[in-house]
Structure 1
Amino acid sequence: MPLPTFAHLSDRALIRVGGPEAQHFLQNLVTADIDGLEPAGARAGALLTPQGKILFDFLVYRMGDGYLLDTPAETAPEFLKRLTFYRLRAKVELELLGDDTGVIAVWAGGADVPDTLVSVEDPRLAALGRRLAGSVAALSQALGGADAGLDAYHAHRIRLGVPEGLRDFDYSDIFPHDADLDQLGGVSFTKGCYVGQEVVSRVQHRGTARKRFLQVESASALPGRGSEIISGGKSVGVLGSSATIAERSFGLALVRLDKVAQAKDNGSLLECGDAEILVKLPDWAGFSWPEPDTAE
C-alpha cells in the first residue's frame, strides 16, 4: 500500500471540553448539533456573536465522554477565554492542550494509525480526507514518509473550495452562510437556540444569503488576500486564500452572487489584480446562481 499524503496542521490547536454538562453547554452555545453527534463523530461548527457573525470556527470531535475543538492556534487562547466566560457555573472542564498534541490531515492513501485521540473523516467534505488528533511525533512516525507540509494541505483545501477562518476571512466580519458553513454541515436549523441563532435562521428561511465563498481559477498569478474582484470597474468581491497548483492559480473569494451572475451573463471580464479569473460554484454547493436581474 502506498504511503499516505499527510501534513501536521501546525496552525491548529485543540481545546478539550469535558465534564458532566459538556454536551448541554456546547449544544446551547454553538451552531453545530452536539446532541446528534455520535461517539467518535465529528462536525464543523462556529461560535457566533449575538449579531450572528462568526466569532470562532472549528471542528468538534466527540471523544469518550467529552469533546475536542479543532480551531486556529492563533486565536485558541481567546476562544478558550470566551468559552470560560460562557461557562458560568456549569460543570464543564475547559483546557487548551499542549503543542505536543496536535492535528494531522491525511488526504491521499490510507493507513491504520494506532493510539489516536481522534481519527475521523473530515466532516465538512469527504474529499478533504481524514483528521487525526494525538501525539504529533507518534502519528507522524506511524504514517511513515515525509510530511507534505502546511502549504500542500491548504492548496488541497483551496482546490476543493472549502474556506476557513483567518485563512479566508477575519472573525466577527461575516455570517455562517457567507462562509458556506450551512453547506458544509456546520449549522443546525432544527435544534434549539444558540448564540446568534435568530439571525442565522432568518437568512436560511428567507433565502437572503447574498454573498458566498466561491472558487476562483486563473492562468495568471493571483494577488494577496483581501484583493478586490472587479467587474466593469466595480468591486464584486474579495479574494481569500490562494495557491498555485500545476502552473495554475486557485483561490477562494467572497463574492456578491448577483453581481457575479450578472457579469457572467453579460460576458463581462472578472479580474483580480492583473489576473483574469473564472469564478465558479464548488461541486458540492447546494445553491445556484441567482437570476442576474436581481442585482441592484
Structure 2
Amino acid sequence: MTETRLNERAIIRLSATDGSEDIRQFLQGLVTQDTTAVATGAPQWAALLSAQGKLLFDFFLWADGNDILIDCEKEHAEGLVRRLKLYRLRRKIEIALDGSLQVHWALAAENRPVDPRLAALGYRWLDDPSNGESADEEYRKHRLSLGVTEGINELGSDKTLWLECNAAELNGVSFTKGCYVGQENTARMNYRQKVNRRMVVVPIESADEKRQRIAYPAYGLSVEHRRVDDLQALDLPDWLKAAI
C-alpha cells in the first residue's frame, strides 16, 4: 500500500536554542494534554484553547528527542506558529515549520503508532515527504465513518468548547496535569458533567442546516454541533453513545 501520505497535514518543530529551555514545560502551560505523556512512538491528541475553553487549534504532539513536533492542519499551520510565538515571549525557543517530515496514515501498518484517539482510526507516523501517495480522501472518509471530527472546518475556531468536541472521550485532554489556557472552564464542565452540546457526524438526509458546520455530499455525511437532548434518535458510534 503506497497511499499513506496526508498532504493536508504539516509539521511544526519546537526546539530549544538554549540548554536551559524545556519545550515540554513551555507547552505544558498552554495545551490540553499532559506533555509528559508524549513519548517516542506515543503521539497525543491535544488542543490550544481560548481563555474561555473554546478550541482554537487541534493537533497531535510527537516527541523527537528534546524537541516536540506538532502534527497539524497544513492550511492553518502558519496561524498556529504565530499563536505559539505570542506565548514564547523572550524564551529561547525556535518555532517553525519543518518540511523534512510528513504525516502518514494507514488502516494497517506494522510497528507504527496507533491513533491515540481511537484504535479503529488506524495508524499514523512521521516519515519522508517523498514517500507514498496521497491518502487524505481515504483517511477523511474513514474518520468520519467512525464519527470522529477534527480541524477548523469541522470544529470551528473559537466557536466550540473543547469538551463539546468529544475531547474527553477521544483522549484529547488531561484533567490532572494542572493549569493551561482554557483549563478553568474545561475542568468545571467535566466536574459538573455539563456538556450540553456535542460534535456529531450524521447522515446528510438527517442534516440540520442550523447546526451544520460542514457537509460532505460525496460521503453522504454532515458534521454538526447539536444539543445532547437532540442526539437520542441518532445512530451514534459506541464510543460516543457510552458518554451520553
TM-score (norm 1): 0.74
| Residues 76-110 of structure 1, C-alpha deviations (whole Å, 9 max, x = no match) | 11111111110122232212112x53211111x33
- 1:205-216 equivalent positions in 2, closer than 5 A: 205-216=191-202
- Distance in 2, matches of 1:149 and 1:106, equals 8
What's the counterpart of residue 63 of structure 1?
A: 64
Q: Which residue of 242, 258, 261 maps to 2:229?
A: 258
- Distance in 2, matches of 1:176 and 1:56, equals 10
- 1:147-186 equivalent positions in 2, closer than 5 A: 147=133, 149-186=135-172
Secondary structure of the structure 2 residue equivalent to 1:86: helix
- Distance in 2, matches of 1:200 and 1:105, equals 30
1:155–1:244 CA contact under 8 A, matched in 2? no
What's the % identity of the aligned pairs? Answer: 33
2:103–2:124 CA contact under 8 A, matched in 1? yes
| Residues 29-64 of structure 1, C-alpha deviations (whole Å, 9 max, x = no match) | 100010232333211000011111111110111121
2:198–2:225 CA contact under 8 A, matched in 1? yes
- Distance in 1, matches of 2:151 and 2:190, equals 21
What's the counterpart of residue 242 of structure 1?
A: 216
2:105–2:135 CA contact under 8 A, matched in 1? no
What's the counterpart of residue 101 of structure 1?
A: 101
- Distance in 2, matches of 1:158 and 1:62, equals 27
| Residues 139-174 of structure 1, C-alpha deviations (whole Å, 9 max, x = no match) | 32xxxxxx3642221001100111012231221111
What's the counterpart of residue 143 of structure 1?
A: none
Write the letter of the residue equivalent to 2:208. Answer: I
- 1:80-229 equivalent positions in 2, closer than 5 A: 80-98=81-99, 101-107=101-107, 109-111=108-110, 119-137=112-130, 139-140=131-132, 147=133, 149-217=135-203, 229=208
Residue 31, structure 1, aligned to residue 10, structure 2 = no
| Residues 190-237 of structure 1, C-alpha deviations (whole Å, 9 max, x = no match) | 11100010010011111111111223136x5x8xxxxx617xxxx5x3
- Distance in 1, matches of 2:29 and 2:217, equals 37
Residue 7, structure 1, aligned to residue 4, structure 2 = yes
TM-score (norm 2): 0.89
- TM-superposed CA distance for 1:288, in Å, is 4.2
| Residues 117-137 of structure 1, C-alpha deviations (whole Å, 9 max, x = no match) | xx4211111111111212121
Count of equivalent residues = 240
Which has the larger share of strand? 1
2:7–2:134 CA contact under 8 A, matched in 1? no
Task: Kindly name which structure, 1 or 2, has the bigger radius of gyration based on alpha carbons.
Answer: 1
1:215–1:280 CA contact under 8 A, matched in 2? no
1:43–1:61 CA contact under 8 A, matched in 2? yes
Write the letter of the residue equivalent to 1:242. Answer: Y
Write the letter of the residue equivalent to 2:113. Answer: V
1:60–1:68 CA contact under 8 A, matched in 2? yes
Write the letter of the residue equivalent to 2:69. Answer: L
1:229–1:239 CA contact under 8 A, matched in 2? no
- TM-superposed CA distance for 1:187, in Å, is 0.6
1:53–1:175 CA contact under 8 A, matched in 2? yes
Write the letter of the residue equivalent to 2:203. Answer: E
- TM-superposed CA distance for 1:7, in Å, is 3.3
State the Cα RMSD in Å: 2.2
Secondary structure of the structure 2 residue equivalent to 1:136: coil
Secondary structure of the structure 2 residue equivalent to 1:38: coil
What's the counterpart of residue 275 of structure 1?
A: none
Which has the larger share of helix? 2
1:23–1:34 CA contact under 8 A, matched in 2? yes
Q: Where do 5+ consecutive residues of structure 2 fail to align?
A: none
- Distance in 2, matches of 1:280 and 1:62, equals 37
Write the letter of the residue equivalent to 1:8. Answer: R
| Residues 226-259 of structure 1, C-alpha deviations (whole Å, 9 max, x = no match) | xx617xxxx5x325353645xxx23432211113
Q: Where do 5+ consecutive residues of structure 1 fail to align?
A: 113-118, 141-146, 223-227, 265-278, 290-296
